[in-house]
Each structure stands twice: as structure tokens, then as C-alpha cells.
Amino acid sequence: MLALIELSSPKGAPWEFLVVFAVLLLGPVLFRRAGIPGIIGLLVGGYAIGPHGLSLIGAGNNTLPDLGQLGLLYLMFVAGVELDLNLINKYRRSTISFGILTFAIPFVLGALVGFALGWETLAAILLGSLLASHTLITYPAVKEAGLASDPAVATAVGSTVLTDTLALIVLAGVAGSVAGGRSSVEVAAQVAVGLVVLIGYSLFVLPQLAGWAFRWLGTERAVRYVVAITAFLSAATVAELFGIEGIVGAFFAGLGMNRLVPNEGQLMDRIEFFGGAVFIPVFLVSVGFILNPSVMVKGETLGLAGLFIVACLGGKAIAAQISARLFGFSRSQAGLLFSLSAAQAAATLAATVIGFQLGLFSSAVVNAVLVLIFVSVLASTIVGTRASARASSPDGPRPLGTRIVVGLGEPELALGALTLARRIARADGGVVHPLLVVPEAAPFAPREALARLSEVVAAAGVDGQALTIVDRSVLHGALRVGRAQEATLVLVAEPVPDDDAQSTATPLAAGAPQRAWERSPAPPVAVVRGNADRLGVVRVRLDDDELESPSIAAEMARRVASGSAQRLDEDHAEWSELLAPGDVTFVSSELGDTLGKLPGVGDGLVVSTVAEWLIREESARDTPPEVPGDATLG
């Protein structure tokens, strides 16, 4: 019987994928147990299964390198889309300074090494540029440690744009000078035009296209995810059309999509899940795949590698130390700067391979760079792990748009409120959670209600998780969920005016502290009356005492109108008559006065902040205050 069974040796795609996924599964686990960072497990695993190890996957295999390339683009996209642009803007001085230092010092040292070895000018310059770039290999670990918004991390991540772009410009210039006999000026002009087109496409066209796709292709998880993948691949393609490396395009696509993909949204959750589970680890395995210890340990290779390591890691360390002193960073933050900027992989590998193809580099140089990549990843991971453990996560006030809960009773009548919420959240890369509040007395039909809610949420371009709760009023339900979700703002759409509230309403306390919402334990609340498919003129009517200090109403108006809200003063007593369909007016006078002037549905929108005393009163009626876990439907 056994003689009839003919087994063949494993081969083909299923076998190759099995081997790769076994490395993804076991590599990090085994190495972490030995006290070694999991990233090293992926690199060593890649070597073990590769042509220079056990040869379970042969040298001619393109599947793993291609998947690795996709993983690299994915990594750069994630780095761009996760960037806190407000933070980058806040630390732009340190970002630019560190970017220049961490490029210039290794570049000069690398070029000097090349000249000292008697290399051609182009080869020496290319060596300098490939040592000057870096890849954010340790960023996932730093982020996991809760340090994504640390000033040093924001500085290092932001500087990646500068260093990799400069390095890839040098690469394009060298490649253009060698191939095709074009002058440096012609090459520089092409790269400059390419960058302009790429930035225009990534930061202006792509967000429009993606926003349109999110609204019109629906809220289906798979569709939104594929839109994001398509977006960064398209930007990478645009970059390569101009001879710019695809990773630059993927990074800019991430920046362009940054506001559309809130860090706490469902889409980001999916992007991070697939990136962390498959794409980015596969990239690391593919880097290990090309390691060849037998060549790497040759005397000539190791000698070159030693020079590259001194020039690269030495230059990166000097840049990190200088920047830390310039900007008052602690030692652990200096370690984070070094860790994030020292790891060599993507741009370095791309430049080296191109240098090899152009005949500028021998295989000894390529293998020496592979040694450098291995050592740099090891050093940056060890330093990053230590520095992350010592650094404390920043605990600053959360911006107004970080997490907004929109309470609503009728999904169809809440499009305007959701659109407003999306605009308010967008400035902070925040997320909007729509909350359907079903009155206690009403028949509960969650499927139908959620289906209708999904349509409205898609039309508003909102990415947060839809929630439902049964409560006595929309305001009350929104307050409870807002507290439970640690919201930074609660918007209540179409509330039923409460007679008591109208009659007892009093003005907000005079002399409210500046930006009080950032320090208050309870989230600020505003009611939205009216509905609109799209927003028109934005106005804000402030009380006299609010003209001196920022209020929530003014802040919301600024965000919704992108800074161009019309300010109404007390002369505009009949401000509600100015409302046309789609127009929106933010008011922060007392609730009773405001509610009395609310228009009918279809006349426009009025957003009124709610007095703190009313919030406290509503909250005090909670028994118990917690939201049941099973009240959340998705």
C-alpha cells in the first residue's frame, strides 16, 4: 500500500508562503525569548530560508523580493499617514535642523571615505548619499512604546522626508549622469519637476480622489482599505515615472492621506493590522534574504564595512547629539533620534543596487553595505529599545478634534452634524464616532437603524466606529458615551429641546479660563440644529467676554471654515435670519436664548455650545454612568 504513495518534494507558491509565514511566526518569538529584538529574528530568519542559508527559497525567486518591495512601500506609507502633522509643524525647526545634520554629516564622512579609498567622484558621492539616508525600521517599536508624539520622535520621523528625498535626489543625479550621458543640470531639473508633480499629486489630487472614493464607494472595510493601498501605489508609480524612488511617493501619499485616515479610525486600524502582521515583517525577511555571510566575512568586505559603519553610525550619532543639545532633548531622546535615524535599509539598498547596476560599485561594496545594514539595524534596535524604556510618554492636553462623539436620533437628519464633526476632527487627525441614541420608549430596530446610519456616515466621509445606545434622550446618551469613550468633544444632533433647560438656562460663567476644554475632565458639548448636504457660509457669534479669549464656538468655527469664518457681533441681533440652506452659525450664548432662535430643518445649521452646569446636571442623573459593553454595535 505504502508503495503506491509517491511523495514529491515541497515546492511552488504554497511551500514558499509557508516558509515565509513560518519565519514571521517564529522568528520574532524565538529571538524575543532570547532577549534579542524581534526585528533581528526576521532578518536572521530571512537569511536562514534564503539562497545563502538553507535555500528553502531559491535565488531566482521573485515572490519574496516583490512582496518585500510592497512591504517597504507600505512601511513608508504608514510612516507618512501616521505622522502627527500638527506635531511636525510644532517641531518644524528641530525637524529641519536635524534633517540637515543627519544627512550632511554622514554624507560628508561617506564621501571622504570614498575619496580616501581612491574612488571615482560619482562613486564617492553616491556612497555619501546612501549613508546619509535612513529607514524608520524602529518606528513601530517606538510607537508601540507610546512615544509617537514625543518631540524627538516627531523630529526624527519628520526628518525622514528631508534625508530620503535628498539622498534619492543625489541618486537620481548620479544615475542620470552615468546613464544616458545627461548633464547634472538636466537630471536635477527632471527630479525637481518630478517632485513638484509628485507633491501636487500626493498632497492635493490624491486626498480629493480618496475622499471621493470613501464617500461614493461606501463604508465597506475592504473597499476603503484597497483605496488606501491603491493610493500609495499610484503615488509610488508617479514618482518612478520621473526617476524618483517609489518610497518617496509612498511617503508623500501617506502625508496626503494623513487627514483622511485618522489614527484612531477603523481604516488606520486595518492598515496597521495588515502592515504589522504581514507586509512590514515580510520586508524585513526580504532584507535578510539577501544576506550572504560567506561573502560578508571576507577581509575586503569587512574592511569596507568597518569604514561604512564608522562613517554612517558615527555621523548619525554626532547629528543626534548636536540636535539633542540644540533643542534641549534628554539623553533618552537623543537615543531615540539616533535609533530612528541610524537604521539603514530601504533607500540605502536602493542606492547601492543602482550603483552596482551602473558599474560604480563592485560586489564587495554591495556586500559591505549589507553588513552595514545588518549592524545598523542591530545597533538602532538595541539603542531604541533602551531609549524607549527610559523615555516617558508625553502627556499633553488632547486637541479638541482628537475624538468626537456625535449623538443623533435620526440618522437622515444628522448629515450636517457629521460633516461638521469630520471637519473639526480633520485638523487634528482625529476620529468621529457616530452614536445612534434610541429612546427608551421607542421600538428598537438596530439592524435597520444601523443600516441607515451607515449610509449617512459614508456620505459624511466619517471613519469612526458607529455606536448605538438606548437612553432617555440624545443629549443624555451622548454625554454618557462621550465620557465613557474619553471624547474630546460631544456634538448632539437634533436634540428635542427640553422645556426645563430653556427656562432655566443661564449664561456661561464670565471670565472662563483660556482653552478651558483642554483641561476639563468632561468633554465640552455642543448641540447642532438643522441639516445640510454640504456646508455654505460659516459664521460665529461671540459674546463680549469671549472676544478676548478663545472659546469652543470660535475654535469650532475656525476649523470648519478653515480660518475664514465671518464674525458677528451684538449688532447682529437677528443673526438667525442670515441663515441660508447649508450656512452654519456657531454661537456660544446661553442655551435657552440660542434654542429659542433655532431655525427649522432645512434653513441652515446652528451650533450652540452647552453650558457646563447643564452638562453637570445631566451627568449627575446617570445611574450608573458606565456604558454597557454590549451596547456598542459596529
Partner 1 sequence: MPASRSLRPLALAAIAGALALAGVGCANAGKGAAGLFSPRTANALTVATAQIPDPGFWAGTFAHPTGGFEYGLAKQLAARLHLAHVKVIEVPFHELVRGHLGGADLALSDITITDERAQHLDFSTSYLRAPPSIVVRPGTEVADVNAARDLHWAVQHDTTLKVALERSIEPTTQTLVFEHQREVLVALEVGRANAVMLDLPVALAYAHESPHKYAVAAQLQSEAQLGVALPQGSDNVEAVDSAIRALKAEGEIDRLGHQWLHANIEEGAAEEVPVLRAEE
| Number of residues forming the site for partner 1 (CB under 8 A) | 43
Is the separation of the CB atoms in 526 and 553 below 8 Å? yes
From the list 95-103, 116-124, 411-419, 427-435, the region that binds partner 1 by CB under 8 A is 116-124
- Contacts of partner 1 in 386-445 (CB under 8 A): 386, 389-390
Which of 36, 96, 112, 117: binder of partner 1 (CB under 8 A)? 117
Interior angle at CA 464, CA 453 and CA 421, nearest 5: 80
Distances (CA, A) of 305 to 119, 130, 168, 325: 15, 13, 22, 29
Which of 169, 313, 435, 532 touches partner 1 by CB under 8 A?
A: 313
Residue with cell 429659542: 596
Query: How many Cα atoms within 13 Å fall on the side-chain side of residue 86?
Result: 14
Q: Which stretch binds partner 1 (CB under 8 A): 99-107, 147-155, 350-358, 394-402?
A: 350-358
Cis previous bond, 624, omega within 30:
yes
Strand order in the sheet with 525-529: 467-471, 431-439, 403-408, 489-493, 525-529, 605-609, 584-587, 538-541, 566-568
CB atoms within 10 A of CB 177: 18
Determine, following the binding rule CB under 8 A, whether residue 182 of this chain makes contact with partner 1. Answer: no
CB of 249 to partner 1, least distance (A): 23
Using CB under 8 A as the binding rule, whether residue 357 contacts partner 1 is answered as yes
Kindly indicate which of the ranges 119-127, 185-193, 454-462, 532-540 contains the residues binding partner 1, using the contact rule CB under 8 A: 119-127
Q: Fill in the amino acid letter for 48.
A: A
Amino acid at 442: A
Binding of residue 59 to partner 1 (CB under 8 A): no
Q: Which of 14, 180, 328, 521 binds partner 1 (CB under 8 A)?
A: 180
Q: Which whole-number Å values give the CA distances from 547 to 258, 541, 570, 589, in the listed order?
A: 33, 10, 11, 12
Distance of alpha carbon 525 from alpha carbon 515, whole angstroms: 14
Decide if residue 125 touches partner 1 (CB under 8 A): no
Say which DSSP state 398 is in: P
Contact 71, 53 (CB under 8 A): no
60 binds partner 1 (CB under 8 A): no
Does 303 engage in binding with partner 1 (CB under 8 A)?
yes
Q: Which of 146, 306, 497, 599 binds partner 1 (CB under 8 A)?
A: 306
> Which of 61, 86, 362, 454 touches partner 1 (CB under 8 A)?
362
Smallest gap from residue 117 Cβ to partner 1 (A): 5
Would you count residue 181 as binding partner 1 (CB under 8 A)? Answer: yes
Residues 6+ apart with CB under 8 A from 290: 50, 370
Q: Is 107 a residue that touches partner 1 (CB under 8 A)?
A: no
Of 221, 331, 567, 616, the one binding partner 1 (CB under 8 A) is 331
Element (DSSP H or E) covering residue 270: helix 266-274
Query: d(Cα 598, Cα 402) in Å, to the nearest integer?
Result: 28
Nearer to partner 1, 309 or 481 (CB): 309
223 near partner 1, judged by CB under 8 A = no
* Adjacent-strand bridge partners of 609: 526
The reply to whether 297 sits near partner 1 by the rule CB under 8 A is no
Q: What is the smallest separation between the CB atom of 335 and partner 1, expressed in angstroms? A: 9
**Interaction of residue 35 with partner 1, rule CB under 8 A:** no
Among 302, 459, 578, 633, binds partner 1 (CB under 8 A): 302
Angle at 274 between CA 227 and CA 400, to 5 degrees: 70
Stretch that binds partner 1, among 259-267, 382-390, 514-522, 538-546 (CB under 8 A): 382-390
Helices then strands, counting H and E runs in the chain, come out as 26, 9
Interacting residues with partner 1 (CB under 8 A)? 113-114, 116-120, 123-124, 127, 178-181, 299-300, 302-307, 309-310, 313, 331, 355-365, 375, 379, 382, 386, 389-390
